[in-house]
Structure 1
């Protein structure tokens, strides 16, 4: 079987298509970050970046496990921990900010987004 025929046959494999879908979702996070940065005129990392990272990471981790690739699995698992920790930090900060605003009585101000400094 030629290399081209092997690659074409591999592309028709549902598991490979699932892996490509995971890569596509994972790549989308950079488009979201790029759009957010261009919209604000400065580099920012929106919360959506981290949620998309989790979704793409879960798909790719599943793919790696099904392919029985320990290196790929370990890398995706570690990445997921980092993405989830960032989401936790963002929401913890927002909760603290909201509590501080209630204490001070400034409820009219919105909580800062992920890329903003209060």
Structure 2
């Protein structure tokens, strides 16, 4: 039990710095995308992905990528970088479809 308490103290107290704060903020933004999606889907009574989902994805993804670069974690870096491409591409599709819809009206 002492080993577990020592580990938790090391991780959450001794190593706690501004980078960890950035990581928690980034994770909070990233988590908000699920909250936004869940609320929108509950209201619509079907699966919905609102535009805010992609903005939270980009915000959290960029900050998590910065955090991963600082931590020098190649798996985390690759995962966040690839995710950002997908999030930006989805916003691009949304913008294109909105332009087409407004041009058709």
Moved more, 75-84 or 37-46: 37-46
In the alignment, is residue 61 of structure 1 matched against residue 65 of structure 2? yes
Q: TM-score w.r.t. structure 2 length?
A: 0.89
In the alignment, is residue 98 of structure 1 matched against residue 102 of structure 2? yes
Moved over 3 A (4+): none
RMSD value over aligned CA atoms? Answer: 1.3
Which residue pairs with 1:22 in the alignment?
A: 26
Q: How far apart in 1 are the matches of 2:49 and 2:19?
A: 31
Which residue pairs with 2:88 in the alignment?
A: 84
Q: How far apart in 2 are the matches of 1:4 and 1:58?
A: 27
Structure 1 residue 69 displacement after superposition: 1.2
Q: Which structure shows the bigger proportion of residues in helix conformation?
A: 2
Please identify the structure whose Cα radius of gyration is greater. 1
- Decide which of 1, 9, 12 is 2:14's aligned counterpart: 9
Which residue pairs with 1:104 in the alignment?
A: none
Unaligned runs of 5+ in 2: none
